[in-house]
């Protein structure tokens, strides 16, 4: 359990004027004359514990570092306006499989950089293409930039007429490892894995402990849906609004403080657990 989250939630409750133990003092004065002090002390501890854990899971606004991910669906983007709207990072769709590239990638890649926004590229995995073909395709379209964010591999279950079926865990892990290792060798940064909770549990859990994980979870906080999940980024909505983008956009948060975000940008943040 994230006890920092618990403490923050408790402080928020008190700042809002809430009194977790309202009335307990008056009740205790009366009860002290009726029951022994030891029993009363145990009761007080129990009441305090109930009050402490009376909170809601943290929402996206509780995380200080926020970002987006985009593709050609967002059309032309005013990146300076995006930066001004409290956006700390962006990942841009670059490629898919071994034969499709995002027509807006170049404009987004250079536009975000000109606006001073940390940005990186992501590749959408296609299960019916060999890993090295997908590596080659990504390298053809994403320039080497030592200042870019780490590349991202987006891997999830999709309904595809051209590539039906669900490959077994062993096959996926072997192919994904090939892609991750080759991309890291070329760009000098360890790629991040983007996926859903269901796919992570079905095929990836425990396979890549040295890689940061970016989780898509629109139905609630990742830790509520799976308390054992280790995650570093959370895509919490695909219908967000950000200045500089006319339509809806995926919104994300970084699981950490501003100081930890700086460590990530400097390549010093390592996966936990």
Cβ-based neighbours of 249, under 8 Å, separated by 6 or more: 68, 69, 70, 74, 240, 241, 242
Under DSSP, is residue 211 helix (H, G, I), strand (E, B) or coil? coil
Q: Are 141 and 94 in contact (CB under 8 A)?
A: yes
pLDDT in the model for residue 56:
79
Alpha-carbon gap, residue 239 to 63, rounded angstroms = 18
Encode the chain (273 residues) as per-residue pLDDT tens digits. 443 444 444 444 444 444 343 333 433 443 444 344 444 444 444 444 444 455 578 999 999 999 999 999 999 999 999 999 999 999 999 999 999 999 999 999 999 999 999 999 999 999 999 999 999 999 999 999 999 999 999 999 998 999 999 999 999 999 999 999 999 999 999 999 999 999 999 999 999 999 999 999 999 999 999 999 999 999 999 999 999 999 999 999 999 999 999 999 999 999 986
Q: Are 211 and 271 in contact (CB under 8 A)?
A: yes
Alpha-carbon gap, residue 152 to 148, rounded angstroms = 11
Alpha-carbon gap, residue 144 to 188, rounded angstroms = 9
Where do the structural domains in the chain lie, given as residue ranges?
A: 3-52, 60-265
Active site residue 69: yes
List of E strands, 13-82: 66-70
Active site residue 238: no
Tokens linked to 53: 């854990």
Q: Say how many C-beta atoms besides its own lie within 10 A of residue 100's C-beta.
A: 13
**Site of tokens 């060798």:** 185
Taking alpha carbons only, the member of 250, 233, 141 closest to residue 193 is 233
CATH 1.10.10.10 fits 60-265, yes or no: no
Alpha-carbon gap, residue 213 to 226, rounded angstroms = 14
Q: Are 219 and 202 in contact (CB under 8 A)?
A: no
Alpha-carbon gap, residue 161 to 128, rounded angstroms = 11
Tokens linked to 30: 């009366």
Tokens linked to 147: 């200042």
pLDDT in the model for residue 85:
98
Among residues 85, 106, 133, 156, which one is catalytic?
156
Under DSSP, is residue 84 helix (H, G, I), strand (E, B) or coil? helix
Q: Are 232 and 271 in contact (CB under 8 A)?
A: yes
Q: Which residues of 18-51 are buried (b: 16+ CB within 10 A; e: fewer)?
A: eeeeeebeeebeeeeeeeeeeeeeeeeeeeeeeb
Q: Are 177 and 193 in contact (CB under 8 A)?
A: no
pLDDT in the model for residue 53:
54
Q: Which helix (H) or strand (E) holds 118?
A: none
């Amino acid at each position: 359990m994230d006890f920092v989250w618990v403490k923050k939630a408790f402080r928020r409750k008190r700042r809002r004027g809430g009194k977790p133990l309202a009335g307990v003092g008056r009740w205790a004065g009366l009860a002290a004359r009726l029951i022994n002090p030891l029993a009363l002390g145990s009761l007080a501890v129990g009441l305090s514990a109930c009050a402490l854990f009376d909170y809601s899971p943290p929402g996206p606004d509780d995380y200080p570092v926020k970002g987006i991910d985009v593709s050609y669906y967002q059309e032309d983007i005013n990146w300076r306006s995006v930066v001004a709207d409290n956006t700390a990072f962006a990942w841009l769709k670059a490629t898919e499989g071994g034969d499709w590239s995002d027509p807006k990638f170049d404009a987004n890649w250079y536009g975000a950089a000109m606006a001073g926004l940390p940005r990186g590229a992501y590749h959408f995995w296609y299960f019916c293409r060999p890993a090295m073909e997908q590596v080659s395709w990504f390298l053809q379209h994403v320039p080497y930039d030592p200042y870019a964010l780490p590349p991202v591999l987006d891997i999830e279950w999709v309904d595809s007429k051209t590539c039906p079926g669900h490959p077994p865990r062993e096959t996926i892990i072997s192919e994904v490892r090939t892609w991750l290792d080759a991309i890291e060798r070329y760009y000098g940064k360890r790629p991040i894995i983007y996926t859903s909770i269901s796919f992570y549990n079905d095929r990836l859990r425990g396979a890549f402990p040295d890689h940061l994980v970016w989780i898509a979870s629109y139905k609630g906080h990742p830790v509520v849906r799976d308390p054992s999940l280790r995650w570093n980024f959370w895509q919490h909505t695909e219908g967000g609004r950000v200045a500089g983008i006319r339509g809806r956009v995926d919104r994300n948060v970084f699981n950490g403080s501003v100081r930890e975000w700086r460590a990530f940008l400097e390549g010093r943040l390592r996966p936990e657990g």
